[in-house]
DNA sequence: TTGTAGGCGTTATCAA
DNA sequence: TTGATAACGCCTACAA
């Protein structure tokens, strides 16, 4: 079996208490003793058992994240980056990251969250893709379970969150398009239940209003955040009698789908149709033509989210419970015409 | 505090033993008692503490996966799908998935693996992006720690693995290109240290040999598995005096980068230059033109890998320690000309 | 079929 | 500055 604290203590002829305290950096242990303990531990390959420590400390030293897998074949590059950020920040703080997945609002989602909460498998949870009247928020708040949200859920409950100003981003994007001479600007949306959809859409409408352009309801189509959804919505919009000259996707994948719809009917993106997205995923730099987008620093956001979560877990007050970052408008050839 | 097994026992006026056994499905407990226990547990919201159970059982009921984050801004869609597969299969088997990340062969990678192994934080580990003479394999084998590899490492040590036949895939791809009249076929490779690179490159060469085409060393360029790497390598290849008429990327991202390099110099992909990749990520269906690729069922592979790993953890023998799947050649317009 | 009791490996309290 | 000892919550021989 693995070497335990008792083995180290026996070897050194000290008590297990001493070993424990020496290793955890308490200051009431003689430096000489500490040095001996540390050396012996390393030599003997002693690493404290996580399970025992958890049991005693009542802390899992882990945080959880549940992927909102909307699709059977799920592969949003956004989440690879997000998870890398979560994992890196957690690791530097000596926490582990548990990842699971569940389709949003599906029954299995509920069990997934409850399992972690009830069994204290994790000390806190990171939420993303916030929804209107999100049951996860209600549930976690009721259980007094630490969590932090990426995105700002609207609702009665106070939620520590970090988000990107989707409305402001969209306003600046619309302004950019108007400046390029566009008046007929369409929007491919996502489910209205999604918080960032509402926010970005609001920015789109406000942007139009600011330019004195009347909102044309037929210029809003709904996708599902995937390329395929964007493609289908794009086809519908481009089949309109008086079709738009610019189309904004609620996210980059959607916009990429729109580009394909355009090129399929021989429309040149950039000169004959402007297309733009939101997220700033790496793909956008490599589409043909490169895609204008609103970049959000996903990796850093993830790290910051973990930082906030750990503070909450430690019981510290957050100096800033609602961090709001500005997305960066990256203008590329897809809106160059 | 959370409700414990003792609370349930007290409530029901039975011993904690009875509660424990009733819940774990032992058959030496009266059905009536079991029913009462189960109902009371649910009503009281009792879920066994993972920490206590782990300590007692000496099992973490968790598996680990460490993302090979080669880039600062890391976002390979391959891994989002892979993680979703790992997480789903683990969850259905009542295991948790721990995710961390580390740059391949960096010192921190070693600590990341060792931490989990030493502290028994996880019961097994899934390995990917196998390398030549992989220290992880040596280390885990030496520690008798359960693991399974995605990809077939060549080496002295017997490694349970699931892989996709990259060589066969590349042979069929080359055959396809030759059939379309191509003779000058280039390859954008990855680090030769990577197992699948060696394998796919071998397939490329074998494919050329089968068609009696001499290998032109200048037709091999090295990328880094990213779109940018592919773009740069593509530019080099296309600047060659007698440039290739077809370029194969060792993975899809690389191929996507090559496409951009081509369109940048006004070469039409499909008619004037054939491009193909490997992986079958969703992007390939939405590039312009859509990209020919070798599809590997990443999600299912991940699930199967977990299945194999759990068998190893349970101490069962694997009926098939080396699963080899065939990639599926998906021919699209990028090689249509 | 049920209950008693010991121990998994730590950390924390208290006394020395 | 160190040590003995009691939990933490659960599982499992063994006894009843």
Quick one: DSSP state of residue B276? Answer: E
Average pLDDT over chain A, rounded to an integer: 92
Mind listing the pLDDT tens digit for each residue in B140-160?
A: 999 899 999 998 877 778 899
Beta pairing, strands A246-249 & A185-189: parallel
Q: Within 7 Å: CB of A110 and strand C?
A: no
Which of A146, A194, A165, A155 is CA-nearest to residue A306? A146
pLDDT at A299: 92
Bridge partners of B185, per DSSP, are: B246
Say what percent of chain B tops pLDDT 70.
98
Q: How distant is C1' of D13 from CA of B2, in Å? A: 28
* Interchain proximity A60–B74, CB inside 8 Å: no
CB count within 10 Å of CB B83 equals 27
**Helix ranges (DSSP H) in chain B:** 5-12, 16-24, 31-44, 50-57, 77-92, 107-118, 135-142, 166-179, 195-210, 227-238, 252-264, 298-314
Nucleotides of C under 7 A from a protein CB: 1-5, 7-13
Task: Tell me what the mean pLDDT of segment A175-202 comes to.
Answer: 96
Indicate whether A288 pLDDT > 70: yes
- Overall average pLDDT of the A215-241 stretch: 95
- Rounded to whole angstroms, the Cα distance separating B297 from B290 reads 19
List chain D nucleotides near protein: any atom < 7 Å from a Cβ. 1-5, 7-13
Of A49-63, B153-167, B174-188, the range with the lowest mean pLDDT is B153-167
The answer to whether B188 touches B222, Cβ cutoff 8 Å, is: yes
Average pLDDT over residues A191-207: 95
Q: CA A90, CA A303: separation in Å to the nearest integer?
A: 8
Q: Are A163 and A150 in contact (CB under 8 A)?
A: yes
**Segment holding B248, helix H or strand E:** strand B246-249
**DSSP for residue A131:** B
pLDDT computed for residue B138 by the predictor: 93
Mean pLDDT of chain B: 92
Q: Collapse the DSSP code of A226 into the 3-class scheme (helix H, G, I; strand E, B; otherwise coil) and give the result.
A: coil
Find which nucleotide's C1' atom is closest to A58's CA: D8
Q: Which helix (H) or strand (E) holds A32?
A: helix A31-44
Provide the CA B8 to C1' D9 distance, Å, integer.
13
A49 CB near a chain B CB, below 8 Å? yes
> If we measure between CA atoms, which residue out of B193, B200, B137, B135 comes closest to residue B163?
B200
Count Cβ neighbours within 10 Å for each residue of A42-68 and write b for 16 or more, e otherwise: eeeebbbbbbebbbeeeebbbbbbbbb
Q: Tell me the average pLDDT across A126-153.
A: 92
The CB density around residue B81, as the number of other CB atoms within 10 Å, is 27
Q: Look at residue A1 and tell me whether its pLDDT is greater than 70.
A: no
Nearest to B74 among A80, A226, A288 (CB): A80
Q: List all residues 6 or more positions away from A291 whose beta carbon is below 8 Å from its beta carbon.
A: A252, A255, A256, A259, A275, A276, A277, A283, A284, A285, A332, A334
Half-sphere exposure of B98 (CA within 13 A, CB side): 27
Shortest CB distance from B77 goes to which of A54, A69, A77?
A77
Selected residue of B1, B80, B233 to mutate for chain A interface (largest A Cβ count, 10 A): B80
DSSP letter for A238, please.
H
Interface touch B51/A47, C-beta < 8 Å:
no
CB contact under 8 A, A100 and B101: no
Q: Look at residue B3 and tell me whether its pLDDT is greater than 90.
A: no
Which residues of chain B make contact with A128, given a CB cutoff of 8 A?
A: none
Region B199-222: what's the mean pLDDT? Answer: 96
Compute the distance between CA of residue B90 and CA of residue A66 in angstroms, rounded to an integer. Answer: 13
What pLDDT does residue A73 have?
Answer: 60
Which pLDDT band, with edges at 50, 70 and 90, does A337 fall under?
A: low
* Phi then psi dihedrals of residue A327, to 5 deg: -70, 155
In this predicted model, what pLDDT tens digit does every residue of B107-123 receive, in sequence order? 989 988 988 888 888 99
Query: Is the pLDDT reported for residue A167 higher than 80?
Result: yes
Strand D closer than 7 Å to the CB of A35? Answer: no
Do β-strands A220-222 and B185-189 pair in parallel, antiparallel, or remain unpaired? Answer: unpaired
pLDDT digits (tens, 9 = 90+) for B45-87: 888 999 999 999 889 999 999 998 876 566 677 888 899 999 9
Contact B120 A2 (CB under 8 A): yes
Residue B294 CB neighbours (<10 A): 27
Is there contact between A29 and strand D, defined as CB under 7 Å from any strand atom? yes
Q: Which of A2, A257, A299 sits opposite B73 (nearest CB)?
A: A299
Q: CA-to-CA distance for B308 and B305, rounded, in angstroms?
A: 5
Does the pTM surpass 0.95? The reply is no
Could you report the per-residue pLDDT of A81-108, keeping only the tens digit for each? 899 999 999 988 989 999 998 999 999 9
């Amino acid at each position: 079996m693995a070497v335990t604290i008792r083995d180290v203590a026996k070897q050194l002829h000290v008590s297990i208490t001493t070993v424990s305290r020496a290793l955890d950096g308490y200051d009431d242990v003689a430096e000489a003793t500490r040095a001996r303990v540390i050396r012996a531990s390393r030599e003997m390959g002693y690493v404290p058992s996580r399970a025992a420590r958890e049991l005693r400390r009542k802390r899992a030293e882990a945080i959880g994240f549940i992927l909102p897998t909307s699709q059977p074949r799920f592969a949003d590059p956004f989440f690879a980056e997000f998870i890398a950020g979560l994992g890196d920040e957690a690791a530097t703080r000596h926490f582990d990251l548990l990842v699971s997945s569940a389709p949003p609002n599906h029954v299995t989602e509920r069990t997934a969250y409850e399992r972690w909460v009830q069994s204290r498998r994790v000390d806190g949870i990171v939420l993303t893709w916030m929804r209107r009247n999100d049951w996860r928020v209600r549930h976690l708040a009721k259980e007094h379970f630490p969590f932090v949200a990426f995105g700002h859920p609207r609702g009665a409950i106070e939620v520590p969150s970090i988000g990107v100003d989707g409305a402001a981003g969209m306003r600046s994007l619309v302004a950019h398009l108007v400046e390029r001479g566009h008046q007929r600007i369409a929007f491919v949306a996502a489910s209205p239940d999604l918080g960032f959809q509402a926010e970005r859409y609001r920015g789109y409408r406000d942007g139009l209003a600011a330019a004195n352009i009347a909102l044309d309801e037929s210029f809003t189509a709904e996708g599902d955040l995937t390329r395929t959804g964007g493609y289908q919505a794009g086809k519908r919009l481009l089949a309109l009698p008086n079709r738009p000259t610019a189309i904004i996707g609620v996210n980059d994948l959607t916009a990429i789908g729109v580009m394909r719809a355009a090129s399929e009917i021989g429309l040149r993106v950039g000169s004959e149709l402007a297309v733009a997205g939101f997220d700033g995923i790496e793909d956008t730099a490599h589409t043909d033509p490169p895609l204008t987008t609103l970049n959000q620093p996903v990796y850093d956001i993830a790290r910051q989210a973990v930082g906030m979560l750990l503070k909450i877990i430690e019981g510290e007050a957050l100096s800033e419970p609602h961090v709001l970052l500005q997305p960066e408008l990256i203008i590329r050839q897809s809106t160059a015409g």
